[in-house]
Amino acid sequence: LGGPGSGWPSSAGSGCGAAMDVFGDLRRMNKRQLYYQVLNFAMIVSSALMIWKGLIVVTGSESPIVVVLSGSMEPAFHRGDLLFLTNFHDDPIRAGEIVVFKVEGRDIPIVHRVIKVHEKGNGNIKFLTKGDNNEVDDRGLYKEGQNWLEKKDVVGRARGFLPYVGMVTIIMNDYPKFKYALLAVMGAYVLLKRES
């Protein structure tokens, strides 16, 4: 209906037209090209997973990279900062260190500073945390009846950071539709990208 010389307005500039172009490209690909692009996409995903698993082994942390989601650690870290973690069990936990820990009943790990360490004679360590920007310690965040954290609660210790690089993650958490749109665009780009 649309197009040059037809008298009808062309829809190529609209979002619908762009989507139709993507499906048109997919239809024009032969099966061999499509399989090649799908395998290419699978290799990218598996490479990313291998890199992630490698980082877990090297750093000793189940989450070697995390994003700061709140302002509780300002001015040390701001919302959207990307933290690099290690979690070597032989390293003793000391007051002043910034740790990332999980609390039973909460899905998202918390990034706060160790303010007190309680060492027992048998070598067991218990410690208390607090956000730099918070008025009180974290006992209100721990599970009911828990007053101290233990080493098993630690996901990692902050070793470095990149400011505001994680804002994309925050935007994707706040606006799930944006996340799915971004994933769809990335998937379409990889599938339709042709070797030159």
Using DSSP's 3-state secondary structure scheme, residue 127 falls into: strand
CA of residue 111 relative to chain centroid, distance: 14
To which residue do tokens 């060492």 refer?
119
Q: Which helix (H) or strand (E) holds 101?
A: strand 98-101
Domain assignments of the chain as residue spans, ordered by start: 17-59, 65-163, 164-195
Reduced to 3 states (helix: H, G, I; strand: E, B; else coil), residue 67 is strand
Rounded CA separation 161/164 (Å): 9
Q: pLDDT: is 48 or 194 the higher one? A: 48
Cα–Cα nearest to 106, from 64, 68, 143, 62: 143
The contacts found for 113-122 with CB under 8 angstroms, 24 or more apart, are 113/73, 113/76, 117/93, 118/148
Window from 47-56, 99-108, 166-175 with minimum mean pLDDT = 166-175
pLDDT band at 52 (very low <50, low <70, confident <90, very high): very high
> Could you say which of 3.40.50.720, 3.60.21.10, 3.40.718.10, 2.10.109.10 is the CATH number of the domain covering 65-163?
2.10.109.10
Catalytic residue among 61, 81, 138, 153: 138
Catalytic residue among 46, 78, 107, 112: 112
Question: Whole-number mean pLDDT of the chain?
Answer: 83
Contact assessment for residue 37 and residue 29, using Cβ atoms and an 8 Å cutoff: yes
pTM more than 0.85: no
- Percent of the chain at pLDDT above 90? 47
Pair 157, 85: CB distance under 8 Å: yes
> In the structure, what pLDDT confidence band is assigned to residue 9 with cuts at 50, 70 and 90?
very low
Q: Which residue has the higher pLDDT, 9 or 119?
A: 119
> For tokens 């505001």, what's the residue?
164
pLDDT at 5 over 50: no
Percentage of the residues of the chain whose pLDDT score is greater than 70: 81
* pLDDT the model gives residue 51: 93
Nearest to 84 by CA among 138, 155, 172: 155
Average pLDDT over residues 101-119: 92
pLDDT in tens, 113-146: 999 998 887 778 999 999 999 999 999 999 988 9
Residue 10 has a pLDDT of 46
Q: Is 89 a catalytic residue?
A: no
What is the CB-side half-sphere exposure of residue 12 using CA atoms within 13 A?
5
47 catalytic, yes or no?
A: no
Residue 6 is predicted with a pLDDT of: 45
**185 or 155, which is more confident:** 155
| Catalytic option among 6, 11, 14, 72 | 72
